[in-house]
Amino acid sequence: MLNKLENKMNRYIFFSMKIIWAIVACLVVTACDSSSLSDESLGFSDKKYPLVFAAQMSEMRPTRATTDGVWEGTELVAVKNVDMVKQYKMDVNGELSSADPYYWQNMEESKLLTAWYPYSEVFPQRWSVEADQHTFFDGQTGYQKSDLLYAPLKEYTFNSIEESANALVFYHQTARVVINILRLETVEKVEDVESVTIGDGENLFPLTGGLTITGEEKEIVNWEVSDIPEEQGYIIPHRLSVPNVISGIECLSSYVALVIPQDMVNKKFIAVTLPWRTYYYVPKAGEANLEAGKEYVYTIIVKDPSLEVISSDPSWIGNDEDVIPTPMQ
């Protein structure tokens, strides 16, 4: 199962999930002479036309992503209309349905909707990413459990025949970090790398943050990282069974993690532990200001006694002083 999951993860580019209305009645109504039809004759009063969704994956800006491109059929999504929140479930075919759905009341009706995943009765005021994002528990990796999606407020109409007009678009509220270790210089085989972590036991950072929505129509919510000691930690990222390929060269190993948005400037951000020491990547200003919905790729070459880190934005080459290697005890 792990290989199957990672193959899916390894293929995707950062993308969003568009939720498209699958109401055949819309097409029927627009194809007929609306003057000869009434809301009552079409059965609106009998709750005949529920809001039924179909999920479609589409490419998006490279800064967006989901943890996986395929629904497992167990995901629960919250859909909010005014002050009411209803639970919708995704099946393996990408269909969103509900035991208690919203209904269209007439042909001219419009609805204001927001949505989020995973389901909760209210949009969470606090969110935590998992410290262990590699291990499976409760049927998911900690990486999958760390994902938070939000679809901003938008008006939807029953009689819209344009797919884009009735598309519910989710945006990721965490930042995604990708770490690639190149098979060069000091490191030649997987066994040479004991661990790769974001932070470590002696260098903790916030795994929890508070969320506020200043405008329901905004794609990204506002974050405030926690300064509570119990909510600090470090992340064991998810290691891909099939490493990424950089410029035609297969990496020694590749890792992915979802992180609470925050600036990692001057912190021991990435720790690479070899049998004889631990190396740290300490980013300078602007090199690791992790923003919600964006992906940050760091390709690392271990050059004793330092790391060379090529980021998706600026490049960084650390010397022995910056890296602060820790001798093996």
DSSP result, 193-215: --EEEESBTTB-EE-EEEEE-S-
Q: Is the pLDDT of residue 322 over 60?
A: no
- Nearest-CA neighbor of 259 among 238, 279, 280? 238
Percent of the chain with pLDDT over 70: 70
- Nearest-CA neighbor of 319 among 278, 276, 280? 280
Cβ neighbours of residue 228 closer than 8 Å, sequence gap 6 or more:
208
Looking at per-residue pLDDT, the higher value among 201 and 215 belongs to 201
Q: Is the pLDDT of residue 5 over 80?
A: no
| pLDDT averaged over every residue in the chain | 77
Q: Which of 67-76, 152-161, 258-267 has the highest mean pLDDT?
A: 258-267
Q: Which residues of 298-320 are buried (b: 16+ CB within 10 A; e: fewer)?
A: bbbbbbeebbbbbbeeeebebee
- CA torsion sign, 33 to 36 to 40 to 46? negative
Helix/strand number for the chain, H first, E second: 4, 30
Domain residue ranges of the chain, discontinuous segments joined by +: 2-172, 175-327
- Nearest-CA neighbor of 251 among 260, 241, 259? 241
Q: Is the pLDDT of residue 226 over 60?
A: yes
pLDDT of 54: 54
Q: Is the pLDDT of residue 166 over 50?
A: yes
Across 140-169, average pLDDT: 78
Q: Is the pLDDT of residue 98 over 50?
A: yes
Q: Please check whether residue 223 is in contact with residue 207, taking contact to mean a CB–CB distance below 8 angstroms.
A: no
Q: Please check whether residue 291 is in contact with residue 264, taking contact to mean a CB–CB distance below 8 angstroms.
A: no
pLDDT of 253: 94
pLDDT of 157: 81
Give me the amino acid identity at 174: T
pLDDT digits (tens, 9 = 90+) for 233-284: 999 999 998 999 988 889 999 999 999 999 999 999 999 999 888 999 999 9
Looking at per-residue pLDDT, the higher value among 308 and 94 belongs to 308
pLDDT of 25: 35
Give me the architecture of the 175-327 domain, per CATH. Sandwich (2.60)
Distance CA 294, CA 314 (A): 15
pLDDT digits (tens, 9 = 90+) for 112-130: 989 899 999 999 999 999 9
pLDDT of 105: 84
Percent of the chain with pLDDT over 90: 40
pLDDT of 158: 77
| pLDDT bucket at 212, cuts 50 / 70 / 90 | very high
Alpha carbon of residue 286 to chain centroid: 22
Look up the pTM and report it. Answer: 0.79
Find residue 239's DSSP bridge partners. Answer: 255
Please state, in angstroms and as integers, the Cα–Cα distance from residue 236 to each residue in 194, 201, 246, following that order. Answer: 12, 11, 22
